[in-house]
Each structure stands twice: as structure tokens, then as C-alpha cells.
Structure 1
């Protein structure tokens, strides 16, 4: 009643009704309800039941609107919550999908890398196998070639000794009473034949071994050439006779090149061994030469012969040369 009296001082009942209607129109339902409640109580006080009923209906309508708004608000909140959860689920699903895609991509890339590495490994292994087969075939060929060469050397040496040498000895005996000059010539021929046969097949090599055969070669070189050649050999016969013979052939080739081409006055042969390898060194104090250029020259048969013979007995030859001398180092596995 006091509220109504306050508004009565400002205006009349119709003004309150307009305010209530405005609040209702602008959906300010709580305030509108408050005004309609005042109007209803005022109508009851005045005994205007019809007007009181009208305002009560307004109050009931406002209550319905308020409840509807509350329900709508709850529905909106629920919808908003549902939309939020749905959006969150979509985000999670998208993230999961992206993660799975990334996983599949990473898996495929890893599988591809493994396949590529496997292919490269197989290819490399295949190349190594083919190279090993090729080297093995080349080594077998070299060994067979060297073996055949040695057999040919022995046969030629035997033929020279058994036929030509005997013939010359007979000739020498038949002319003992004739010209001394002819006899000296025959002696020279015999010595040359002996030198050739020793070169082709070292006398008693299988019996005396590598060291004595080398020492005999050193002695002959110094006897027939103005050249100082020494040998320092510390070797315990740890290689096969076939390998020793190839080492002797290598030394023959090296010493021949030294005497013919190096313009050296001295040379040395050194042979040592350890638990795994036999080490061979041949050096001189000559003028030296360009190793790479000489090896490219098709006429460098001697150097190629040294390298190939070394390879045939599982060895490695290293040739160094400069002004002042040449050094040939060979390492042969036991």
C-alpha cells in the first residue's frame, strides 16, 4: 500500500499501469509483476474486483512468461553446454584423426626408409660378393698363370740343360786341341746357358730354400756387374715353397730393374717377419722415376709383374721412388 501511495504522489493509477505494460513489453517481467501486484492489491482495496481479476490474470501470465523464460534459459544453457561438449568432442576427434594420420605417415615413412636401407644393404652386399668373386677368380687365374709359367720355365731350363748344354760340352771336347779363341767362345756360351737356366729355374731351390737361393743370386749379381748388392734376411721358412718361389721371382725382377735402369751403385734386400706377415724390402740409391707415369706406360712389364706376383700370393706391393733411390715394400700374409 505504501508503494502505491508513493506512486500516487507522482501520478495516478494509470501511470503505474503504463509502467507495468512497458516493463512487460520490454520483457522485464519481474518488475512488471511487481507493478501488476500493486495494481491488483489497490483494485481489491477499492473493491474493484473486475480490475483486480484483470491484474491477477496479468500476474498469472507474467508467471507463465517468467517460467517460460526460465525454462528457455535452462534450455539455452543446456544447448550451449551440449554445443560446447559437441564442439569439444569434434576437436578431440579431429586431433585424434590428425594424430592417426601422422602416425600412419610416420609408419609408412619408416617402412619406406627400412625398405630403402634394406635394398641398399642388399645391393652393397651383392656388390661386395661379386667383387669378392671377381677378385677370387682373378687371384685363381693369376696363380694358375704363375704356376703354368713356372712349369714352362722348368721345362725350358731342362731342355737347355739336357740338349744344348750337352751338345756344347761335346763340341768343347772335340776342339780342345784347336784354337783357344773358339774354346773361350764355347765357354762363354755355356756360362750364358747356365745363367739362363738358373734364371728360369733356380738350381736346387726346392732343396736349399729361399734364403740360400737369394744369397746365390746376390753373389752372381756382384760377380758379373759393377754393383754392390747386399741381403739381410731374417726368415724362418714360414711360407709355402710356391709362395717362396714367387718371392724369389719378385726379387729377380726388382734386382734386374735395379741393375739395368736405376743407375744405382748399390742396393739392398731385406726380409723380416712377424706373427702375421712377411715383410720384404728392396731399395737402391739410383736416380728414381715417376711411379704413376711408369705404371701407366704399357712397357712397364717389370713393375706390373712385381705387383701381380705379390697379389697372387695374398701380398701387397708398394713402390716409392724419387731422386736418390727407389724402395719396393711388399707385405705377404702368412
Structure 2
């Protein structure tokens, strides 16, 4: 069996305490023809020392710094690694993801059984900080694009293995988004691929995604709002260019998700900016926009009257 080179690209920033577990999972692969490119986003801890140790142990590891010409962020690091990669196929890991030791051999085997696709998707486990590991099933459905447009993200970054020519063709990740990088690249990839991809729902999970329960919700909310301001017009433009204008209605689910999970951690200005981008791009109607605004300010007034209340807003409007 042909054993093509697989490039594994890992962005990192001050993760010296956990990146070793990720690197060890790469090193432990049964499939040996890989290269691992770690791209540092400007770490100030001892990440560089750790990577030097791995490089000395195995030349398949390399360590790069994000060039100053690229903006700070994981997506810029991924793209820098992509254009340094020599592999036929590419997997992007975060610096706390873990690959099971059969991951690469199983993926290459399935690729060679199903050649000619632009990318292939495999199931994952998720694990929280209490080390509880749960398999995440990917349902077998007709239209995965609609799922992602509807804010149902069925897999994470490391679940996908890309044909390197295809991921380069679509210019990798959008480097301007502080959040939503993963759904954005997969939505764009599904549109460009025109169904020439394969979701292997029936496979046993081969990677572990770590849930970060310690993330600062206030920071996340600001990043999410900023990302939506870019994401919504970008995706609508891509849909329109490909004759999929009617599919933009599904994007309202991103607004529902924001209102349910993030608006209470953000400023009024940012919340109104999010509503505005959905209205200006005709994802929601003017009447729905007015209804949300009205209820939003009623809730604000009500909350101020009850200063001792700690109840959160769970839902502003049924879209």
C-alpha cells in the first residue's frame, strides 16, 4: 500500500503545560510517514525549549514562528504551516487535541478506499477536564452544508483530513476571525467542493477534543460578536456567488445561539452591532429585528428594577 506523507499542523500559544500530550499522540502513531509542524503565535513560556527536545528526538517535528506579516491568531499560524507543509494530506490540530495511535493509518486506509475527494471527515471523542470521554456521533444526513449554516457544528478541526491541493485552493483559514474559524472554513469548503467530500460516520472515533470549561465568557462573547460581523456577510456573499442565496435563511440560528449563550456577557453596543449585521444582510426580517430590539430593552429595564436578581436572560425571541 502506498504510504503518502501526512502533514500535521499545530498552532500554539503559551501551551507548554499541555502541548506535550498532543505531540506524544502524534509520535505514537502506528502510521510512520508524517511530519508535524508546530507554529508558535508568540509564546512567552518555555514552548520553544519543549519543541527543541522533540526536534532533537525526531526530525519529523519542526517548529516555526508566525511571521509578523500575518495577524496574530491560530488561523494565521495554520495557514503559515500549510504553506510550509510537504504532505499529500493535511490534518490541523489544536495544541490540546489528541490523536489515537491508529488515527493516521485508519484515515489513509479509508482515503485509499475512497480516492478523489477533497476532504474526509472522521468522528471524535470529546473529553472534559474531569477526563470523561464521550463518543460524538456524526449523523448520516443528506446536506451537511445546511447543518453548518444552521449553527450545528457536527465535527471539529482535527476530524477533517484535507487534500493539500484543495485546502490551498480555497486559501486555508480566514485569518481575520477571532472565532468561528472552523465552521467558516468547512462551509466554504463544502460550497467549493460541491459534495466531493466524504463523511465517514460509521467509523470509530480516532481523536479526542478537549472541552475548555475555563474560558472567560466575557472575552468569548466579544470575540464571537466581532466574528459574526465578518462571518455573516462573508458567508452570504459565498452563497450568492454559488447560486445558494435561499440558504442564507439558515444563518439566523447563529443569532439564536448568540442571544442564548453570549449576549448577557457583552456590551449593549456589541449586542446591537450583532443584531444590525443580521438585519442588514436580510437574514432576519425588519419585524423580527424590531421584536428583538423591543424585548431586549424591556429586559434591560426589568433587570435594572431588580438589582438583586441574578437570573440570566435565556431567550429573547423565538426566531
The alignment's TM-score, normalised by the length of structure 2, stands at 0.21
Greater Cα radius of gyration, structure 1 or 2? 1
**Which structure dedicates a bigger proportion of its chain to helix?**
1
Higher relative contact order (CA 8 A, sep 6+): 2
The alignment's TM-score, normalised by the length of structure 1, stands at 0.21
